[in-house]
Structure 1
Amino acid sequence: MATAPIIDTSAVLDLSEPLQLDGGQVLPGVQIAYETQGELNAAKDNAILVCHALTGDHHLVSDHPITGKPGWWVRMVGPGKPIDTDRYFVICANVIGSCMGSTGPASLAPDGKPWAMRFPVITIRDMVRGHVALLDALGIDCLHAVVGGSMGGMQTLSLAANFPDRTRAALVIASTARHSAQNIAFHEMGRQAIMADNEWREGDYYDHGRGPEKGLAVARMAAHITYLSEAGLTEKFGRRLQDRHEKTFGFDADFQIESYLRYQGLTFSGRFDANSYLYITRAMDYFDLAEEHGGPLANAFAASKARFCLVSFDTDWLYPTSDSRNVVQALNAAGKPVSFVELSAPYGHDSFLLDVPALDRVVAGFLG
């Protein structure tokens, strides 16, 4: 039986004006790739913006055009689902700096050559500026809600803080208001793996047939470990051997966990651009919402009109519950309506992407 072709349902917005960036540079010719689900009502007040994580994209529900896999949050978004497309107009935009349709290092600069490392360093707030430009183009003055997990949660906080009139609600899942030293350390390890690969060529690998695939694979392997929990790894893999009954006394993938990580690295390097990984991780490392607003985190939310919901997971050690509580305390200090819940799940940081029925109930209840 023939496999149905993958249809890319993306739309692309060409910004009419250059994008002013936090680093002081101006990015010209910006394109924003995005996907929408549901119908925008006549009042244009039923829109929900969903923000994706580091290695995600705007293929929220539709099949991914490279891997053919279902959209990354298909279990959460759709008719009758917690983010109900029978009720809401759901938008997901690819962040600038990415490699999945929005302008990034692999895009062509004004001279007709890939930006590569000439691409300006961006921030989470710069990504949100791209989202707001998209909302302007769609004629949406104020969102019903903005929702995001992990890096998507950073964008959610940034939009609520820096564009306080643009959303009535903000749902932040497994995220933080600033990157810790540990977070930065893991990212730096990944960046160094990429830049140590001989095929990186100082970022100018686009015309050489291949890029730093090995370095990117190692970066993905290191990062993927942080998304999981020790209990989850033990239950899923333990110390079980991979397709053998005895150790080889060599350096092949003897253990199932080794084989799994190698597979994750290999498949990731086939769908993601290494330079984009450098730029997006740097944006996450620079994220510090309190610093942006002069010190106390409560300052960031002073003008916000939104109500907030923070969700954490008890096995998430990348963005632990204490990070969410810090945001909740700041919102309380700013006098903003906020609810908070820590959910129990065995999957670690990736719990927001996996089957956690309690999260479904929280999302549906908050948005409803």
Structure 2
Amino acid sequence: MKRSVFHCAGLVSVFLLVLFSFACPVSAGIEEVYGIEEVIYATGFEAGPGDWSAEDGLWEIGSPAAGPGSCYEGAQCAGTRTGPSVGRLVSPPVVLPSVAGGEEIHLSFRHWYSYGPDYQGSGTVEISHFDFQTDGWSQWEALGDSFIGKSTRWSLEDVDLTAYNGRTVRIAFKSDSGNRDDAGWHVDAVEIRKSGNDFAAEGATAVRPTITSFKINNGAATTTRRRVFLNNTTTGTPTRYKASESPTFAGATWHPYSRNPSFTLSAGAGTKTVYFRVKNAAGQSTVKQDTIKLTNPLGGTWTGRWTSDYGADSGSLKLVATQTATGYTGRLTVGNTECGTFSDLPAKLTLSGNTVTCTAASSCAGQPIQLKFTEGVLSDNTINGYYNIYVSGSHYDSGTFRLSK
């Protein structure tokens, strides 16, 4: 990646809102169908980084020297340099307008990524909003699951930002190489747009869309990851899609149409059925469905024992695991006494360096240790680590532990 220098910028208060219309292809003898979208922000990085900033020198703007070989469009895009590192590519502040009725705000971008096997490395889209009461930015919050493994081509990703309407936000692409020398993450054609209900222009007619094929992960029978892709082909030029594990689409919302949108399966092992439909101004398609089996979840209890060097019986227990794992929430138990709580774990958690602190029960040295997760996938059948116990702030005991399923 040919590197460009980043220049950080302060709060941007004025933004250009572009209103345009687009024509959808229709069958012979059928008038054109129109919809309206409002582009709030867009960049393809052709003019360099602009007001984007990069943490730790990980992200660069230019033409890829590795990875995808070229940008999705144009001569420049954003990408990570090779080598072990963690860092964010951060957008300038963007003012999201308020929405009404069926209006929505979406972030879309094209990306290519390559991370290591066994969940070593990931890319995560994050958001932070400006709090005018505290006069500062909120903590970064993940927008959906992380991207892991490898992609085979530049693909379109769509993220719903409607919940943040009326706020000033920053978007970040956070890449974590997982201590590997992989090509990482490349991003291009970033857009934030506001869209309203689909409608037909005066006097116009349209053809209701039809789903001709619908497969989860191109028809795969099983998956070890909750994040899947809904591959579909259609006729009739759909403009929106809706997907759900509920046959009534309870709680589901319409999204801008994509031929391979991502979808997050519900937690827990078993066969999952996803229902899918599309629409345009002429109406909705019939519902299609497909199934896939989610296997090898982490859900359950991992048990083991710690080996004490000194035999402490109480104090503040700190456990640090060295095994890379994936999970969302879980509880740590020492013997039969709850010792601490994991909360809001990211889709990809490298336990090394993440210390869990709790107050151990009396005489707990040598007792069973249990790690309980509600969902996720582990790359191995064991978790190894070490622990330290502190009493009144002073180191009192240390040792190792090993958990197995």
Normalising by structure 2, report the TM-score. 0.22
Normalising by structure 1, report the TM-score. 0.24
Pair member with larger Rg: 2
Query: 1 or 2 for the larger relative contact order (CA 8 Å, sep ≥6)?
Result: 1
Larger proportion of helix:
1
Larger proportion of strand:
2
